[in-house]
Structure 1
């Protein structure tokens, strides 16, 4: 060993030694500015490893198993081939091991070293303190009595009657306590008779464990394993608890994670729901060299509440959701999504993990796709499960068995040639249908186009001609020949100019543009197309974007006739310092030279000569404020036909959120006002609220109100929600989420708030993403 001369004063043994957490803890004011910036406002401070706290020496590179023991002290006494006695400001180091204390005795024959405290030992990512310790220079094992410890990455601290560091990354704790709360703040803690922490594996295990809240035991586990970083390992995860969205109330879940192989795993979550019974969910994940697949299952054998609500039902309910994504290379990808449930109420009653929302139809789709700069190909099968029993057979969607899409463009001299094509085979059960609704069959559609694109810095012009061709081969078609086609010639000419000027406002330079645009479309479509089935077609909602589209129908079963000119104007204001678009205003109108005669069973035909004025306004006066408004104004009736406005505000750290929206549609008799906000009451308490009022119904159609409390140790959200059901009644539920920092959370309030208030998911990401530095 090497004896190094010491410098400094001896520690005052009469003072009580600080714990490991107290050594590295810094109040907010003492943290570097960059650390303070990432620290949530509700945290009073954080950990800042000093690297030399407690007199510890710099760490040598790991892996030096034969490294000599280096020591320093204020005084030393050495007995040849027997013992070395060090006293006063003792510092020891061997390879990656380092420690400091008041005195030490080193047995040169056995290689054991006894160190008296106050003891401090620092390693990569952790800090240990204790009353006294025994260290073996042969094995590297360190045994500490009356110990405290701190893991910096997870911000986990604790204490123990004894602690053994049996390897560079392995710690055994006897009669220990763990928490992520700051020093002196034991709002919650895990207390166990035996704890093992393995930093190499990223996990800990514990026996005879109890969860204490404010020093009061609230839960007991005989054995648990838990993460101390982002990695996962086979074992029980933390229990989840909360209230069900329907039924009699509370649930308790005990997830078990199976780390089966590096490329696949599973999580089994048995749970008891009061009033319903034992419910089990399973999630399996598989990762191949092509991509990831996820399978989710839910099953309950005997749902008591469901049987009471639905006499004659057996209570057996289940759901399945499968998704897969694959990248084959060379521009080829594959995908698949399949969802199925046992009954229409499963998603609202039981679903908590399946990534499918409440809906009337569940989609099943799978296929392959190819794309490059000039081509696009997609071939897939698509089907649905209609889960709402009230949906009539005539309104159920068609399956596509299959659909194939291809689009491509190429340059031919100064011209651009392109094609869009589609093959579809439509099928649905038609046993109870009659007439045109009974038809199934195949449809081929191709739209070849030849265009002359011309572009310059000051504008563009693009004339084009195309043919919209469709052919049908139908089954169970009773209106004539089951095989027929349709050809529609189309001419389009899109033109735009670009003007700009520079100026300044409030000493901020900006660039203003003026962008007039003319778009002409002509399509000679046959007026009566109502002998063609409606497989996938609908009438587009008229918006500003539709000013530049020649067809007013979606899908391929109707091709609209057109002879129309669009006149539009857009102006933008761009901040030259940041490049941000601070404002954009657009307005436009379509002039119709002929009546529109093609309809979808009465919808879409019109004889008016002008469309309503369509406009959009987007304002971003500052980075945290966005105002959007769009609408349709009919100059013939001097009335607004439709209007949508939304104001979105958030502070830079997303602590403040506010949204104000208004939706109006005269044709649909809809007028609703929507207000949502998250407002801090204090640094730790925030109020959450949302209110939706329907002026046509003269009633509230949705509310959400709650409180959120945060500190650096735990958080809780409690939310009361009213929502409109299918029978136009307001239903009520209470949602909550408890988050013990480092243990995870339970309850489902956050997801519902994020669905209701724009920006809340970003707030959650920042809140938990910056919490762990």
Structure 2
């Protein structure tokens, strides 16, 4: 059956086009002198034009031969053979390529090849060519079933021309639902060397910071009144300027259990954790400059196999039962809490005899913790500039008493001081882990006031301020521990803490401002300052401006002083400009500069970026050019600019402004902290 001079519209996709004639034979048809696009038929911004397009409705794809991709009326790409979907079914074939240009890798071209192996698993081959390094071979395998899913990615670069060695990586993440209460999860990351993350960061999907990668395997459970888990993890160094002493201890294994339940007017709870810690030996790093100092391609750092330190290993048991009596009314609350914390260690001889530890292989610590949290709530109706508000005044008091216990004979495995903040005013410890429990005889006094718009409940202004009054010196510190990576902290003397203040102001529905400030009455200097403002433009545009300052509390020097400006500025309904200027005032150099333009329509988006950024801890700069074409409803090719812009410009996707990060709303079983228990 033959039909001439037709226009067609796909039912399950937004694709449409025209053809001079169509030969139909059941579910299979052949279109002659035809076009295909996902744009408005009256104004196709792009289209694929081909002498013949075979359409197979039974298999769900179309095949074009000698096809030409046109942007407007300009041909930009020729395809001798081109296969595309006409419904939502997956098909084996070539995906659109990704390409870019950078000083690190030169011309960079990635050609994904998709393999539709089965309905519940597939694979993608990832051959990649970098003009400065050579060919990299990669693959990605994904699987899905009723009880779980997973993904594994591997890359291998034989004989990197810049490093003169084989390089590679493996990343895996997945989970399996054992039953209603238990889930097994794993996240595994491995790279061949300490420069891999720096050189190939755009393809890194692993976990961890810029200096390390974490691999974790575990099983986790959650019930109505309890949580539990059994896991193990390992850290790998990924920063060539550091040695293994910068890595956290491995937890092999770690088991934890928490329980919390109301008992009449009381609330009882328990936290228990048992961990065995290990650490890779530290090796000395020799810094050897190349003979040609201008040569940035070769290794400037050579690792020598000279053992610098043996860390040893040890186990720790931490148990913290508590009971509280939460009392509250319409305008007040009082919550007294009593807890007992017992911590015991079993250390090997290497660790037990590491200075400043005393040689005791089985040290313990046991102490009570008592706190009283109380607050009031006042409100009144008021009016400002013709708008009705509900104005609140919320004073809060938090008293904490913990007796002193000498903890110099306890090792430091995973404990660091919390960054001092408004939330820290109401915690029962200064530390993130169980290796230290500070002594305390202190009282927090704080107050918050809010102005809430009565017609919609939105917060117009909020002001919070607080300070801790120390009635005695706090003698416990993390200083002089066995773990140099734990850092050091300023001792806490009798007197007053820094004033902590937070403020947020919504000028109007588009413009908001915020500030955080810490003033230390002892040094008569600011410890921290942060200013930020955001303006929402029409057509999803945004402007961000921020300033951040932090003082080093140990030597009173400036630790951080940065300015950050970013924007998405709509020039017209289709055109917009993007950019970021992130500058270190201390180093007097930019940390990242991004400039670009993007054109977006109903069926096509084009983004072009130029980026200059700090590539490593040494402060070396790198340049890159990113270009991406998105044929909506078909595919995209070029380099992924979306990830770069979403990270650099807060609010690039407007919905990101209203999402609370998962870490702030749910507990990560791998990092459960007993110190956050009331």
TM-score band, normalised by the shorter chain?
A: 0.7 to 0.9
Is 2:5 the partner of 1:146?
A: yes
Q: Does the 8 Å CA contact 2:236/2:247 hold for their aligned counterparts? A: no
Q: Deviations over 1:317-346 (max 9, x none)?
A: 211110012333322222110011122333
Q: Does the 8 Å CA contact 1:243/1:250 hold for their aligned counterparts? A: yes
Q: Deviations over 1:483-513 (max 9, x none)?
A: 1211121111111111112233444433222
Q: In the TM superposition, what is the alpha-carbon distance from 1:163 to its structure 2 partner?
A: 1.3
Is 2:92 the partner of 1:234?
A: yes
What RMSD over aligned residues (CA atoms) do the two structures have, in Å? 2.7
d(CA) in 1 for partners of 2:601, 2:279: 55
Following superposition of structure 1 onto structure 2, how do residues 34-183 of structure 1 map, counting pairs within 5 Å? 142-151=1-10, 154-167=13-26, 171-183=29-41
SS at match of 2:235: strand
SS at match of 1:417: strand
Unaligned runs of 5+ in 2: 285-306, 481-488, 553-557, 659-678
d(CA) in 1 for partners of 2:431, 2:78: 62
d(CA) in 2 for partners of 1:175, 1:350: 44
Q: In the TM superposition, what is the alpha-carbon distance from 1:170 to its structure 2 partner?
A: 5.3
Q: In the TM superposition, what is the alpha-carbon distance from 1:431 to its structure 2 partner?
A: 7.2
Q: In the TM superposition, what is the alpha-carbon distance from 1:244 to its structure 2 partner?
A: 5.0
Q: Does the 8 Å CA contact 1:436/1:533 hold for their aligned counterparts? A: no
d(CA) in 2 for partners of 1:457, 1:326: 45
Is 2:296 the partner of 1:406?
A: no
Of structures 1 and 2, the one scoring higher in RCO (CA 8 A, sep 6+) is: 2
d(CA) in 2 for partners of 1:565, 1:764: 37
- Matching residue within 62, 65, 79 for 1:204: 62
Following superposition of structure 1 onto structure 2, how do residues 226-305 of structure 1 map, counting pairs within 5 Å? 226-244=84-102, 246-251=104-109, 253-304=110-161
Q: In the TM superposition, what is the alpha-carbon distance from 1:760 to its structure 2 partner?
A: 1.0
Tell me the residue number matched to 2:589.
699
- Matching residue within 319, 325, 336 for 2:169: 319
Tell me the residue number matched to 2:544.
659
Is 2:658 the partner of 1:730?
A: no
- Matching residue within 326, 349, 358 for 1:453: 326
Moved more, 752-761 or 598-607: 598-607
Q: In the TM superposition, what is the alpha-carbon distance from 1:262 to its structure 2 partner?
A: 1.7
Tell me the residue number matched to 2:565.
675
Tell me the residue number matched to 2:665.
none
d(CA) in 2 for partners of 1:351, 1:205: 36
Is 2:655 the partner of 1:752?
A: no
- Matching residue within 312, 316, 332 for 1:439: 312
Tell me the residue number matched to 1:483.
362
Q: In the TM superposition, what is the alpha-carbon distance from 1:723 to its structure 2 partner?
A: 1.2
Q: Does the 8 Å CA contact 2:234/2:251 hold for their aligned counterparts? A: yes
Q: Deviations over 1:404-445 (max 9, x none)?
A: 111111233322221111111000134769999723110000
- Matching residue within 447, 462, 465 for 1:569: 447
Tell me the residue number matched to 1:739.
630
TM-score by length of 2: 0.85
Tell me the residue number matched to 1:44.
none
Q: In the TM superposition, what is the alpha-carbon distance from 1:214 to its structure 2 partner?
A: 4.6
Q: In the TM superposition, what is the alpha-carbon distance from 1:669 to its structure 2 partner?
A: 2.6
Q: In the TM superposition, what is the alpha-carbon distance from 1:752 to its structure 2 partner?
A: 1.1
Moved more, 757-766 or 495-504: 757-766
TM-score by length of 1: 0.75
d(CA) in 2 for partners of 1:596, 1:219: 70
Is 2:376 the partner of 1:497?
A: yes
SS at match of 2:647: helix
Is 2:179 the partner of 1:329?
A: yes
Distance 1:411 1:392, change over 3 A: same
Distance 1:147 1:643, change over 3 A: same
Q: In the TM superposition, what is the alpha-carbon distance from 1:201 to its structure 2 partner?
A: 5.3
Tell me the residue number matched to 1:95.
none
Q: Does the 8 Å CA contact 1:244/1:349 hold for their aligned counterparts? A: no
- Number of equivalenced pairs: 614
Distance 1:337 1:190, change over 3 A: same
d(CA) in 2 for partners of 1:513, 1:765: 25
Distance 1:489 1:428, change over 3 A: same
Distance 1:642 1:675, change over 3 A: same
Tell me the residue number matched to 1:106.
none
Q: Deviations over 1:579-631 (max 9, x none)?
A: 32332211110000000111111524221410011011122344443322112
Q: Does the 8 Å CA contact 1:511/1:576 hold for their aligned counterparts? A: yes
Q: Does the 8 Å CA contact 1:238/1:743 hold for their aligned counterparts? A: no
Distance 1:647 1:683, change over 3 A: same
d(CA) in 2 for partners of 1:407, 1:250: 49
Moved more, 144-153 or 754-763: 144-153
Tell me the residue number matched to 1:118.
none
Q: Does the 8 Å CA contact 1:181/1:188 hold for their aligned counterparts? A: yes
SS at match of 2:408: coil
d(CA) in 2 for partners of 1:413, 1:501: 34
Following superposition of structure 1 onto structure 2, how do residues 252-651 of structure 1 map, counting pairs within 5 Å? 253-304=110-161, 306=162, 310=163, 313-314=164-165, 316-350=166-200, 352-356=202-206, 359-430=210-281, 438-475=311-348, 476=350, 477-478=352-353, 479-526=358-405, 528-601=406-479, 603-651=489-537
Q: Does the 8 Å CA contact 1:439/1:533 hold for their aligned counterparts? A: no
Moved more, 361-370 or 706-715: 706-715
Moved more, 150-159 or 497-506: 150-159
Q: Deviations over 1:199-235 (max 9, x none)?
A: 5655323333333345454434343322334442222
Distance 1:370 1:242, change over 3 A: same
